[in-house]
Amino acid sequence: MRSTFFLLPLIQAAFATRPFLNEPDTGIEAALGNTPEGELPDLDQIFGLPDFEWAARRYMNDSSYTYYRNGAAGEWSYRNNLEVYGRFRFRPRTLVDITNIESTLSTSILGHNFSAPFYISPCASGGLAHPEAEANFVKAAYKENILYIPSHYATLSFDEIAAAKPSNGSQTIFQQVYLNSNDTQTKEVFDHAKKLGSKAIVFTVDSASDGNRHRANRYGVGSADSDYTYITWDYYKKLQNFTTLPVILKGVQTVEDVRLAVKHGAPAVILSNHGGRQLDGTPSPLEVALEIHQEDPDLFNQIEIYADGGVRYGGDVLKLLALGVKAVGLGRPFMYSNTYGEEGVRRAIQLLKHEIAIDAGNLGVGDLKKIDASYIKWQNNGWFS
């Protein structure tokens, strides 16, 4: 017993200092490593979301890829976002009828119905991956019936993104914004978004100052939002009076701020650390969701809570849903999939839908809407700490 106790810190230290892999070793290098730099392998050879990053890293030029990939400082939060899901184990149930699981993937987000509990998160500069830029996200999201949230700093303008939507007005899109102290300009942005059919405003609150992005600065592709910005709860209350659209808060990272969001009448919050791009050392959205579950679980009933950051597999989505998160956002995987254009984005959506369904089936969840925290062992097992 004493020898095991003695070895445990050494084992943990070994895992903490091991080399970090951007993409897991699933044989892709052996199978597709002869693909010439600057070319993409056939789309039907892409079997999971990490494959898209492998392909994009070899296809895109260094500065464009770095703009999507970079994180803050030593990138520990970026790394933690990816690895945190592996710290918690499933508790699979067996002898359960799971044959209808695919029919239970649908969800609603602020009353709007979608085919799956995940969405395309706001990410800037879609044109770095493909000339059609964010139009590919609009079209793919519509055809697959999931939510897309365009970035304020998209390559395409608000109007160009709206023009990519079907003319029948049947697609639901939310608009992400960065704001400053110019109230006249803010009202114009809100009014314009509403006129173009956006159903909600997503206000990013976790970038009050510039991100400390060493990797990005090396290539001259730092943050587009680099000012010190006045963001307070009083300011949020003022914003709510500028529009009749619901104003979602993106970038909430503590249970205390979720409570304050409820107090101030927010319709929803997104747990996010900006993809690990703003402040290194911030918690992953899974850790924030776990904090809420442990300290004030009823918050999941009082407000719609979404989360984004580090999700690459169907199992990652299930762990967030099990805690009470209503919908899960993904950014980088869709940006990388856009190297293939609309069809690449659609394949990424389809792959994730399939993974969620088969992983839920193997977990013994017959109805995704009935997943709860009992399906996961929420004690950190110490690995990858």
Q: Which of 130, 152, 274, 293 is catalytic?
A: 274
- Pick out the residues of the known binding site for FMN: 122-124, 151, 176, 204, 250, 272, 308-312, 331-332
- Rounded to whole angstroms, what are the CA distances from 201 to 173, 248, 252? 10, 6, 15
Question: Which structure tokens are listed for 339?
Answer: 């190297």
Q: Is the CB of residue 126 less than 8 Å from the CB of residue 136?
A: yes
CA angle 235, 279, 233 (to 5 degrees): 15
Q: Is the CB of residue 141 less than 8 Å from the CB of residue 147?
A: yes
3-state secondary structure of 207: coil
Listed in sequence order, the residues at least 6 apart from 51 whose beta carbon sits closer than 8 Å to its beta carbon are 23, 26, 28, 45
Question: Which structure tokens are listed for 309?
Answer: 């950051």
Q: Rounded to the nearest 5°, which phi and psi values hold at 373?
A: -65, -15
Q: Is the CB of residue 247 less than 8 Å from the CB of residue 189?
A: no
Q: Rounded to the nearest 5°, which phi and psi values hold at 38?
A: 90, 0
Question: CA 349, CA 330: separation in Å to the nearest integer?
Answer: 10
- For residue 176, the one-letter residue type is Q
- Pick out the residues of the known binding site: 67, 122-124, 151, 176, 178, 204, 213, 250, 272, 274, 277, 308-312, 331-332
Q: Is 152 a catalytic residue?
A: no
Question: CA 200, CA 146: separation in Å to the nearest integer?
Answer: 15
- For residue 357, the one-letter residue type is A
CB atoms within 10 A of CB 125: 18
- For residue 251, the one-letter residue type is G
Question: CA 285, CA 276: separation in Å to the nearest integer?
Answer: 10
- Pick out the residues of the known binding site for glyoxylate: 67, 178, 213, 274, 277
R_g (Cα) of the chain, nearest Å: 20
Q: Is the CB of residue 59 less than 8 Å from the CB of residue 35?
A: no
Q: Which residues are catalytic?
A: 274
